[in-house]
């Protein structure tokens, strides 16, 4: 299988299980490489936000381990920054920085830098409860990169922002990525496709697809098949650069293949007794747009 190869992950989630009242919320393993930008996609209730909270240490898995290669600094940009904080940006960032343990001189310099970068100098002494959503989202990022972190987690960072703010944001994220910061984002916007190196698609709390972003920019086809009986399909026999992704669940199999090789794969599946449910061109952008909505 042409899967993403990870050598020295920054953070590793090993056989993570999260359930609530018997309901399975998350059941996966995942590694995140230093310096990579990973997008997490999925429909409502697929477990995106839970996964981000577990990566950030805000929630604990019921089973499995979260392993960090070293003691990593994290920054978290939540979906929907609080709207009614009665602090000015400077007061707020001073609070967060001091709580984080940053020294005052360093903190003051850093806040000055960030206010310039995010063009918020003019409102730096105004209380944030009068700010627009775009301005608050900037504060959300500023508090997350104050330290600055090794890993930046962003939950729907572009949600509810106007086109101009989204554009500003993309530039900021690009620059953070260029600085070597590891980014993990839960996103829907196709505009972020060019930013990420890798994406995973969650379905019912499981990793449905784990691909490098550059791979899915190429044309692909999806073959969906089912098996009437329990037949163990030897998927390795059909990989060899032909199959880009395999998703298997009970008697259901979904393959992402290069269009030129789809006939060969279809023939193989039919010979093995599979029923072909559908064959269609895979449109990467469609995968993003059909996952709109948060969980």
Residues within the interface to another protein (CB under 8 A): 20, 53, 56-60, 62, 74-76, 78, 80-82, 84-87, 91, 95-100, 143
Smallest distance, another protein to C-beta of residue 125, A: 15
For CA atoms 163, 168, 174, 180, give the dihedral sign. negative
In the chain, what's the furthest Cα-to-Cα distance? 71
Comparison of 82 and 273: residue with beta carbon closer to another protein? 82
Residues in CB range of 99: below 8 A, 6 or more apart: none
Comparison of 70 and 84: residue with beta carbon closer to another protein? 84
Tokens of 253: 């199999």
Comparison of 95 and 290: residue with beta carbon closer to another protein? 95
* DSSP string across 80-136: S--S---S-HHHHHHHHHHHHT--HHHHHHHHHHHHHHTT-GGGTTS-GGG--HHHH
Smallest distance, another protein to C-beta of residue 134, A: 17
**H or E segment to which residue 92 belongs:** helix 89-100
Comparison of 11 and 233: residue with beta carbon closer to another protein? 11
Smallest distance, another protein to C-beta of residue 25, A: 10
60 closest CA partner among 108, 21, 13 = 13
Residues in CB range of 37: below 8 A, 6 or more apart: 173, 177, 182, 183, 184, 185, 195, 196, 197, 198
Comparison of 59 and 90: residue with beta carbon closer to another protein? 59
Comparison of 136 and 255: residue with beta carbon closer to another protein? 136
Smallest distance, another protein to C-beta of residue 50, A: 8
Comparison of 95 and 277: residue with beta carbon closer to another protein? 95
Smallest distance, another protein to C-beta of residue 116, A: 22
**H or E segment to which residue 246 belongs:** strand 243-249
**H or E segment to which residue 226 belongs:** strand 220-226
Tokens of 159: 């949600």
β pairing state of 11-20 and 23-32: antiparallel
Smallest distance, another protein to C-beta of residue 41, A: 22
Helix (H, G, I), strand (E, B) or coil at 267: helix
Smallest distance, another protein to C-beta of residue 169, A: 18
How many whole angstroms separate alpha carbon 110 and alpha carbon 200?
Answer: 33
Helix (H, G, I), strand (E, B) or coil at 209: strand
Comparison of 49 and 262: residue with beta carbon closer to another protein? 49
Smallest distance, another protein to C-beta of residue 261, A: 44
């Amino acid at each position: 299988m042409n899967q993403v190869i990870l050598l020295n992950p920054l953070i590793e989630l090993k056989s993570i299980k999260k359930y609530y009242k018997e309901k399975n919320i998350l059941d996966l393993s995942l590694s995140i490489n230093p310096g990579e930008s990973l997008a997490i996609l999925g429909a409502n209730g697929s477990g995106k936000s839970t996964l981000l909270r577990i990566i950030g240490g805000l929630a604990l898995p019921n089973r499995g381990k979260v392993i960090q290669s070293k003691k990593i600094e994290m920054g978290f940009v939540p979906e929907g920054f609080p709207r009614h904080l009665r602090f000015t940006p400077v007061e707020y960032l001073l609070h967060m920085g001091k709580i984080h343990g940053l020294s005052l001189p360093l903190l003051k310099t850093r806040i000055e830098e960030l206010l310039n970068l995010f063009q918020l100098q003019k409102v730096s002494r105004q209380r944030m409860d009068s700010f627009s959503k775009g301005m608050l989202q900037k504060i959300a990022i500023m508090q997350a990169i104050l330290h600055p972190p090794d890993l930046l987690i962003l939950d729907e960072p572009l949600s509810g922002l106007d086109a101009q703010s989204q554009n500003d944001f993309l530039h900021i994220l690009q620059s953070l990525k260029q600085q070597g910061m590891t980014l993990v984002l839960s996103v829907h916007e196709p505009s972020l496709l060019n930013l990420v190196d890798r994406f995973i698609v969650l379905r019912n709390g499981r990793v449905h697809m784990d691909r490098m972003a550059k791979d899915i920019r190429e044309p692909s086809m999806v073959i969906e098949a089912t098996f009437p009986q329990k037949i163990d399909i030897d998927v390795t026999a059909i990989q060899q650069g032909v199959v880009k992704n395999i998703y298997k669940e009970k008697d259901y199999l979904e393959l992402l293949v290069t269009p030129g090789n789809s006939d060969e794969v279809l023939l193989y599946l039919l010979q093995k007794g599979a029923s072909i449910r559908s064959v269609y061109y895979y449109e990467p952008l469609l995968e993003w747009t059909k996952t709109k909505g948060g969980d």
